[in-house]
Amino acid sequence: QVQLVESGGDLVQSGRSLKLSCAASGFTLDNYAVAWFRQAPGQEREAVACISRLGDSSFYDDSVKGRFTISRHNIKHEGYLYMTKLQIEDTALYYCARRRSAGCSGSRSAADYDYWGQGTQVTVSS
């Protein structure tokens, strides 16, 4: 059974850092690209970052470039999102997702991802 489980969400002050983790099970992680999405109340789910299966390519949404770093550890079957200089606008439920292929190809469409975690809440206060 394919599962993705996020953790690491928290309430933090703006300007602080936070690291999210995504534990994968039930499939071979290094066959797939992995992405992080987020969804704020009343807004659509948006792609934050994606990393290819071997970690040799990635993309970031413009809103997080230079502040967030996506990474993965295939042996541990985990993905990560390291977030720095957090802003109030980063408040959202963060999801990790498995892409249907090995590369990201700049895909920001949720339809290109077939398995999702339940999400972990990140709240940034002033």
pLDDT for 106 equals 78
pLDDT for 107 equals 80
- Of residues 12, 21, 10, 18, the one with CA closest to residue 117: 21
3-state SS, residue 58: strand
C-beta atoms surrounding 46 within 10 Å: 14
Q: What is the DSSP string of 72-88?
A: EETTTTEEEEEE-S--G
Distance CA 69, CA 67 (A): 7
pLDDT per residue as tens digits for the range 66-90: 999 999 999 999 999 999 999 999 9
- Of residues 33, 75, 30, 27, the one with CA closest to residue 50: 33
| Residue 5 one-letter amino acid | V
Could you say which residues of the chain have pLDDT below 50? none
